[in-house]
Amino acid sequence: MEDMLFYDRMQFAFTITFHYLFPQLTMGLSLMIVFFKWKFLRTKLEKHNDAAKFWMKIFALNFAMGVVTGIPMEFQFGTNWAKFSELTGGIIGQTLAMEGMFSFFLESSFLGLFLFGEKKLGHKLHFLTGFLVFLGSWASGFLIIATHSWMQNPVGYEILANGKFVLNNFSALFSNPWLWPSYLHNQAASLVTSSFVVAGIGALYLLNKKHLEFGKLFLKTGVIFGVVASILVAFPTGDLAAKNVVKYQPITFAAMEGIFETEKGGSEIILIGQPNMLEKKLDNKIAVPNILSFLTYQEWNAEIKGLNEFDEKNYPTNIPGLYYAYHIMVGLGTIFIALMLASIVQLFRKKLYDTKWILWALLFMIPFPYIANTTGWYTAELGRQPWLVYNLLRTSAGASPTVSSGNTLFTLLGFIGLYLLLGMLFLILVGKIINKGPQTTR
């Protein structure tokens, strides 16, 4: 049973990790495409319209990959996690169905019109199609995170005699206190990814001395969006999301921060340290006293419960993984803010385009928002374990009893091979678009 559960979780973790590489770019990029098209309508400068169409090509490839890699995850609800689907389908099925019926079709329908309908529609209606693509992508994220938020903090439900969850308050799904901080944090993080990609490609063009006009436009736009998004990820959205964890999942917060023992007189914030699960402590830690108490409760001496206060059977099942995922996310987020602030300063000084170290740094940093977003999701998912529905349904009770570990491992290996090929094809196609550069209409 333990092997079966391990492979079930590994397969879902792999498929969702690979899948989310694509929506995290499309959600943020859709807003930036709308911005480029709006700038064209306002200024009548063709470079902005050309920029919108260039990035929509990359958006379309990401969208296609997101669709292809998203479908297998939904099948896993009926195969590896059939018991979970049987018990909670009356609730999570509603938001997932809404995501497919409304958001996905809105996004996919108007994506085609944006890509191929500019001449027929005219520029104002073309802008509207781009805006509806943006609306669909952000609505899709909202409904997915509404589902996720219910699993983290279940609301508006009752449990029948047969163990099934049913919804008795539909509006509670969308007024869940977990939902809005998580959603805004996620959307700001996706905008960080798109900002670094846009700025990084702009930096690439400037360093290679090709497509210079677009290189400057992409760099400037990416840096402006990036500095705002990088700060919003940390505050207020990240701060509000962390306070939700403190309030609703205090054991998760203790594990994230590496707090094994409750500290009297205020909790320190850990900068560096390695969890030692045998001795239940952090090895080689570097910490700043009382900061965590202040950040959490705005009181220097506030007490934060350690893991020693909770039943060990409810500990997150992978405390080191949770701790490192959280600290990687926070550490990278801090670097993003610092780099974007340095870039915006140089932009205002009119020296950004000639500051080589910043150009190289922005180019080098393109993969790291993907890592930060992935570790952010790992933090949320590892933190909820050992529960599928927090405090109500354990992960072990949601797995399908009839799917063997051998079958799951075999299909996992198949997914790895197939996704490796898809990933290589995607990189080749995107590389060709970037190398060719935006096509001007002048």
Q: Where do the domains of the chain lie?
A: 179-403
**For 310, left (φ over 0), alpha (ψ -120 to 50), or beta?**
beta
Q: Residue 25 CB: number of other CB atoms within 10 A?
A: 27
Residues 6 or more apart whose CB falls under 8 angstroms from that of 208 comprise: none
Q: Which two tokens stand for residue 78?
A: 């009926």
41-68: per-residue pLDDT in tens? Answer: 999 999 999 999 999 999 999 999 999 9
The Cα 243–Cα 413 span in angstroms is: 38
| pTM for the whole structure | 0.96
Provide the pLDDT confidence category of residue 108 given band limits of 50, 70 and 90.
Answer: confident
Question: 361 vs 67, which has greater pLDDT?
Answer: 361
343-359: per-residue pLDDT in tens? Answer: 999 999 999 999 999 99
Q: Max CA-CA distance within the chain? A: 69
Task: Check pLDDT > 80 for residue 246.
Answer: yes
User: What's the whole-number mean pLDDT along residues 231-259?
Assistant: 96
Round to the nearest angstrom and report the end-to-end CA distance of the chain.
Answer: 64
The amino acid sitting at 311 is D
67-97: per-residue pLDDT in tens? Answer: 999 888 888 888 999 999 999 999 998 898 8
Q: Sign of dihedral through CA atoms 246, 251, 254, 255?
A: negative
Please tell me the predicted confidence (pLDDT) of residue 78: 87
Element holding 158 (H helix, E strand)? strand 157-159
Provide the pLDDT confidence category of residue 410 given band limits of 50, 70 and 90.
Answer: very high
Question: 442 vs 86, which has greater pLDDT?
Answer: 86
Please tell me the predicted confidence (pLDDT) of residue 333: 97
Please tell me the predicted confidence (pLDDT) of residue 316: 96
Please tell me the predicted confidence (pLDDT) of residue 239: 96
Residues 6 or more apart whose CB falls under 8 angstroms from that of 234 comprise: 333, 334, 337
The Cα 408–Cα 394 span in angstroms is: 20
Taking CA atoms, 233 is separated from 99, 190, 240, 366, 369, in Å, by 24, 9, 10, 17, 12
